[in-house]
Amino acid sequence: MMSDALLSGRASAGGSQMKSVVILISGRGSNLQALLDAKLPGRVAAVISDRAEALGLALAQARGVATAVLDHRRYASREAFDAALADEIAAHGADLVVLAGFMRILGDDFVRRFAGRLLNIHPSLLPLFPGLKPHAQALAAGVKIHGCTVHFVTPALDAGPIVIQAAVPVHGDDDENELAARVLVQEHRIYPLAVRWFLEDRLCLTPEGRVALADEGPPASPLIAPVAA
Ligand code: GAR
């Protein structure tokens, strides 16, 4: 079994070295699966979980991707866990670190070490509904449009520069699970896009902390919800 999963056999279009990605998970791993399925122009060097029971670990192993578990309970402090995690990521030579349902908050030192090469997906249209239970927050607020956001990670929780968002309508009779499922379909579309852009050197964070994206394409159509008959 290969220790690295080759997501594509080709180097990026510019002929530069193929980049390595380390993906951090805590659970189910459906975004991980979307990334692995996307045949991205880079390679997943490792999948790391903070929970041994994370279902995504088996998925990674089945694809021949190296896995590691770092249980925060084995570390004396948050800082010690973060340092061990950062060292494990660096040992895999990561050019990009992708948080895919990684549910531990990372400290400032960790975030600074990977500044500009640390992406997260959050299931809301940030800056609305950061933190826990974003779907419940959206339903409680009565918004008619909800969604998901890929952003560069900065020390402030869920507040980093936004790369891409997708929006879905909220239905009048939605419960949290129905809304989460509708958003998740869009997560699986936008996260591989954002990662692809980074791997193709089309996406970066500027020194001023702004998102720069080459060849952005035409603006998307508006989403209006609800649409009365
Ligand atoms: C996803 O909905 C992701 O956006 C969310 O956890 C879920 C993980 O699902 N992440 C956060 O809430 C981070 N704040 P997955 O394990 O099936 O990808």
Please report the DSSP string for 154-184 in residue order.
Answer: -SSTT-SPEEEEEEEEPPTT--HHHHHHHHH
Tell me if 10 is assigned to some domain.
no
Residues 32 and 56: their CA atoms lie apart, in Å, by: 7
pLDDT (tens digit, 9 = 90+) per residue, 38-52?
999 999 999 999 999
β-strands 118-122, 96-99 pairing = parallel
Checking if the pLDDT of 10 tops 80, the result is: no
Give me the pLDDT at residue 218, please: 92
Give me the pLDDT at residue 17, please: 83
Tell me if 227 is assigned to some domain.
no
Protein residue with least CA distance to atom 1, ligand 1: 101
Tell me if 141 is assigned to some domain.
yes
Domain total of the chain: 1
Task: Indicate which atom in ligand 1 lies nearest the CA of residue 184.
Answer: 2
Q: Which of 72, 92, 122, 135 is catalytic?
A: 122
For the Cβ of 136 lying below 6 angstroms from any atom of ligand 1, the answer is no
pLDDT (tens digit, 9 = 90+) per residue, 95-104?
999 999 999 9
Tell me if 144 is assigned to some domain.
yes
CATH of the domain at 77: 3.40.50.170
9 — phi, psi (to 5°)? -80, -10
Domain span holding position 186? 19-213
- Catalytic annotation on 122? yes
221 burial level (CB within 10 Å; 0-12, 13-18, 19+): exposed
Amino acid at the residue 93: G
Tell me if 14 is assigned to some domain.
no
Tell me if 221 is assigned to some domain.
no
- CA distances in angstroms from 162 to 60, 101, 120, 178, 212, listed in the order given: 27, 17, 10, 25, 10
For the Cβ of 147 lying below 6 angstroms from any atom of ligand 1, the answer is no
